[in-house]
Structure 1
Amino acid sequence: MLFSVATAATLVSAAAAAAVPRASGNFKVHARCVGRTDFQDSPGYLYAEYAYPPGYYAALDTNPDNGIVGYTSDPTNPSNSSLIFPESGGYYQGFVLYPLTQQYPESIAQIFSGQTGTKGIYVDENGLVQWQAQDGVPIVWEACPNTPLEYGTATALKYRWSNTTTSSGCWDAELVAEYQ
């Protein structure tokens, strides 16, 4: 079988494109209380605030204009995907979750400049942001109002193992991807 140079080039570029993960569409992350189908009493949109070099604590703000826009890096492979927030000039920030332990079964989510973020973060078939943690234990997102952070208080976005109780003063939340 003979191929023209143009046909061969097309096949090679198509194969290369198939090997590169496709990013999802851009979306804002909107938190809602578990068990709700609406956003009444929503703790807000994910945003990066309360900076400490080189990153931010992940917080929630009820003003949609403050919500940051991101995308998942590989929607076809959840274990390889991360949540990335692009910035101007080609820079980006990554959504970072640290592994939980018996000693620390909960933590605050963070957003770091210049990092691609934690692997295993994806949007499921219901439009919910999930984390496929390496240890296999499911996690639950928590909205924690009035959390003292470095430069004041905010509604912090935390996560914990699903087999532990909700942190005091927090409530369980779902993170909904609102595509732009």
Structure 2
Amino acid sequence: MTKRIITISREFGSGGRFIGEEVAKKLGIAYYDREIIGQIAEQSGLSPEYIQENAELSPKKGLFAYAFSGRDITGKSVEDMVYESQIKVILEIAEKESCVIIGRNADFILRDRNDVLNVFIHGDMPEKTQRITHLYNVAEKEAVKMMADTDKRRMTNYNFYTEQKWGKASNYTLCLNSSQIGYDRCEKIIMDCM
């Protein structure tokens, strides 16, 4: 099998992480999600906890958060240094092996490669809410707030660093609604496209 990379961007609660993990298992290829955190931490010299909170999400919910970030003498913020480390790690992983990479703007970072399948997983609000209430043992109102906050921070980070619009269909090879077609069919479509 020739080397292939699948990137999966997703709405919070859509099951994108689960779908990506299952695709990787079924294809027998590497799966990268939280595993990247340690590598980015090592590259940047920052703690894994800091990377987990900030490598994929904006510091706050708006683009102005980046404008007010502290900067060093070169004009770079800590977030910029984290993103540069993230780019390096993702490029190294893609060079090394076939894999599934969850989030972290991997679709944009690997945009110049011709062996990448970029997927965006989204879902309907009722199903996402139900999934989050079950997974995180929270009330419906808290689940809705978690979705809004997480997706807003993902979108802000993506829009800032890629100068593209997060979730816009033209940025991806496939856009799949996991609520409409189910996880199994999402996995099958992704594998068929490989």
**Interval containing the TM-score (normalised by the shorter chain):** under 0.3
From the two aligned structures, give the one with the greater helix fraction.
2
Larger relative contact order (C-alpha < 8 A, sep ≥ 6)? 2
What TM-score, normalized by structure 1, do the two folds share? 0.26
